[in-house]
A = this chain, B = another copy of it.
């Protein structure tokens, strides 16, 4: 199996496989012509990497896990340990994305009723600067333009 063949068979880009080879996650044999030769174990390894990526592990996590397995240890304790901070981070990112989408949607909605602002030196763009879109606008010098 050459890079592109493996890539097709596992639904990843050849660039991704090259990247894994580069960082040492995959170690294919080299044929006499210099071409990479991927056999069964490498293919299973790639499948494993993709599954682990799908569960939020980083490539470095996966390195650690694979190294455990290669030393004949059960990687499970490492796996159970590594997923905790990843899950925590994923939850945080999820919340951040929820908040962001909400802010963006509120902004777009309120912009429908706002006219384009004209440059006047004391602001840059009122669509953006007047984005108290999460809190209710406290009545102040809002009648700016």
With contacts A93-B97, A97-B90, A97-B94 taken as known, whether A55 is within 8 angstroms of B107 at the C-beta atoms is yes
- CB < 8 Å neighbour of A52 from B77, B83, B105, B128: B128
Interface pair A116/B66, CB less than 8 Å apart: no
Interface pair B87/A91, CB less than 8 Å apart: no
Interface pair B93/A124, CB less than 8 Å apart: no
Q: How many residues of A contact B (CB 8 A)?
A: 48
- The segment from A7-15, A16-24, A26-34, A68-76 that touches chain B is A68-76
Interface pair A131/B55, CB less than 8 Å apart: yes
- CB < 8 Å neighbour of A125 from B65, B86, B116: B65
Quick check: is A100 within 8 A (CB to CB) of the other chain?
Answer: yes
Query: Chain A contact residues: over half helix, strand or loop, or mixed?
Result: helix
Question: How far, in angstroms, from A93 to B111 measured CA to CA in the complex?
Answer: 23
Q: A45 to chain B: which residues have CB within 8 Å?
A: 124
Interface centre among A65, A101, A104, A107 (most CB of B within 10 A): A104
> 8 more A-B contacts (CB under 8 A) besides A48-B125, A56-B104, A79-B125?
A55-B104, A57-B128, A65-B125, A65-B128, A74-B118, A80-B111, A83-B107, A87-B104
